[in-house]
Structure 1
């Protein structure tokens, strides 16, 4: 019986995984420079965690979560709520007042699969918990922009402020009146949202809805003094850091926990799925989940599938990142293979990449395999070489061959091979160990 992946789920094959590794390594490098530490979280959380933090009236909670109803558990649809739960549960604020955290991994939402959007998708998520200053907002967005820059990807930053629990109710009342008067022009989802989550009407992608809200009131005109001052300081911070942005008064994000600053990175290169990531402030979330009062927080998530699609569009240049084997051992015959395997293992222990085949393949076939793994050197060992205690070492780039003595232990031979490899690569053995 033949099985296939479930609709909305996807295998990441070895060649494609190289791009994922490049993406993850770049993210980790950026986060290290900004002082973020990794946190690893469970895939399953109590359903109430997401219902309370994300919001009962959101599409995610109402329609998209994978929930085990009989167990009260849900596969995580996003990472911020889980990080906030871990922050509260483990009292991380006691260890350090400001926590800078990141996580990388899969999320799950039951929605229609399309380009760049799957039911199991992956996110790079970064959070700063405990910082209320507008400078933290600017720093976080600058960090995300730097990550995209170092990946060589182009995306536009859009920002907005959605106010706070003090100034939002007045705006909400204005918006509800506006959209209810025009409900006949709204899609079915937005008609439902009018009462439960009217802000979501503002960023609906339906053409009729977008036209309907063009003249809707702007929350920027309803901000309280504190929120207005905060947003002005965020904009000055972005200017000071040289981060380009544009205002998008219709951007509200889809999660209830956001307050004040919200932002998205968008691209024109992925068709309808223009957003590659986004985030904002959630100054009330930690307290909502039972944590210390007045604990501010902010964060963002970047969709890895969409970033990988953008990386793929860069074309051939990525192929230069395919790793090379430092050594390929071409062993001809059982005795030669028995001799070569401990030697290859000793080379690997020094930090070099080494390959060997387990089978009785011909020399010609093994040399082709050495080419496939882009080996820098191939060590040819057969029965005659064992008798003479002398193998042939071929430089695969120059095609020059030289005799290599097999006298000594595997560790001693590996040390000598390491010096030869280092002479070509410029790296010592220990430098190859990550």
Structure 2
């Protein structure tokens, strides 16, 4: 008989289990708690969109669109793409679903995103992001709120130590146009020394040369003019308001004048929370203001600002996750009590009490398994002197919790 080969996991994907899953779930649960503190709503988006949503918003010259998207034709001939990020889909929904009526709109989302890239530490071809956006708010207060929210998320996850907020301004439209012209002039003077990728960017997206990792480009990029020389009074006032808000909220930040976003619809604030604990790929949360994004998709000019973070990367920074003890372990000391265990566990769970039943293996193994779960109370069902009997041991339940257990069960159980 031919041997059936076990299917393999696709390269660049992951199965999240055990401690990894507990860390993963802790990131999502903390994000949900923090977003409620800041009065952000929740939205869930399609996993795939029309390809033009990303080509028009992220930009056809970016690596994400030109090299990394999973794009395919559906049976009707339309080009579809698995989402590589959330912001473009949120902007599309803002237009198609009529969410303009709710502006300023504060929303979050989370889920799987897809990019065809070389797998590396904390980065997969299917990975997961959390995302927060404010649409319809042009004031620097929106940028401040999102940054303070991100800072609190990292603090509540217990990973803020060693993470630095790097902040920059991209200015307003007038500033960007003047800075872009200055960069083009600078890079044109060094055209013969630039890498092939940077020559392509010089014609289409010169700001992205500042991000180049090619050793040939770094000295030229480092010598390029800073944006500060081109800032209008309005752009400078906006950035000053953002930094003043962060200072008032007690959020530490550092200026990184080389932090950029290459696409024309980005404005004003750009930021990254960076750590040295994840190797070369040290960004754990990043975002910025994108006042021209909705307009690039055919909508009316609409201000927007947001950020995203990789769940896997945040989870990698967490300490050993707590498994969470079983509140009440219910043990059958013999087969005749297994149905009773099922009944009592069901009553406890319906009363909102965490409970686990132990009905497999011999009695000693049942007790051993229950002990490993570190319960806060144990209820065992067996026989004493030939009569059905129960044994109740309260380990660490509070008086209120113990009263809830007693209300869910019968007085006989505590005899």
Q: TM-score, normalised by structure 1?
A: 0.85
- Residue 128 of structure 1 corresponds to which residue in structure 2? 134
Q: TM-score, normalised by structure 2?
A: 0.89
SS at match of 1:166: helix
Change (3 A) 1:99 1:417: farther
Structure 2 contact 205–262 (Cα < 8 Å) conserved: no
Change (3 A) 1:67 1:387: farther
Q: Show structure 1 runs of 5+ residues with no match.
A: 399-410, 421-434
Structure 1 contact 67–73 (Cα < 8 Å) conserved: yes
Q: Distance in 2 between matches of 1:172 and 1:139?
A: 29
1:364 counterpart = 2:368: no
Structure 1 contact 347–418 (Cα < 8 Å) conserved: no
Q: What is the aligned-residue RMSD (CA, Å)? A: 2.5
* CA-CA distance at 1:98 after TM superposition: 0.9
Q: 1:74 aligns with which of 78, 81, 97?
A: 81
1:48 counterpart = 2:55: no
Structure 1 contact 343–413 (Cα < 8 Å) conserved: no
1:234 counterpart = 2:242: yes
1:347 counterpart = 2:337: no
1:374 counterpart = 2:368: no
Matches within 5 A, 1:389-408: 389-395=388-394
Deviations 1:119-140 (A, max 9, x none): 1121111111111111221221
Q: Distance in 2 between matches of 1:386 and 1:215?
A: 89
Q: 2:184 aligns with which of 171, 176, 191?
A: 176
Change (3 A) 1:230 1:332: same
Deviations 1:262-312 (A, max 9, x none): 111111111101111111111111233233x2321100111211111111x
1:414 counterpart = 2:415: no
Q: Show structure 2 runs of 5+ residues with no match.
A: 398-404
Structure 2 contact 164–253 (Cα < 8 Å) conserved: yes
1:298 counterpart = 2:299: no
Q: Distance in 1 between matches of 2:412 and 2:33?
A: 28
- Residue 42 of structure 2 corresponds to which residue in structure 1? 38
Structure 2 contact 335–359 (Cα < 8 Å) conserved: no
- Residue 190 of structure 1 corresponds to which residue in structure 2? 198
Stretch deviating more after TM superposition (300-309 or 334-343): 334-343
Deviations 1:368-411 (A, max 9, x none): 110122122333224x469723222344679xxxxxxxxxxxx9
Runs of 4+ in 1 over 6 A off after TM superposition: 417-420
* CA-CA distance at 1:80 after TM superposition: 0.7
Q: How many residues align?
A: 398
Structure 1 contact 347–417 (Cα < 8 Å) conserved: no
Stretch deviating more after TM superposition (251-260 or 29-38): 251-260
SS at match of 2:270: strand
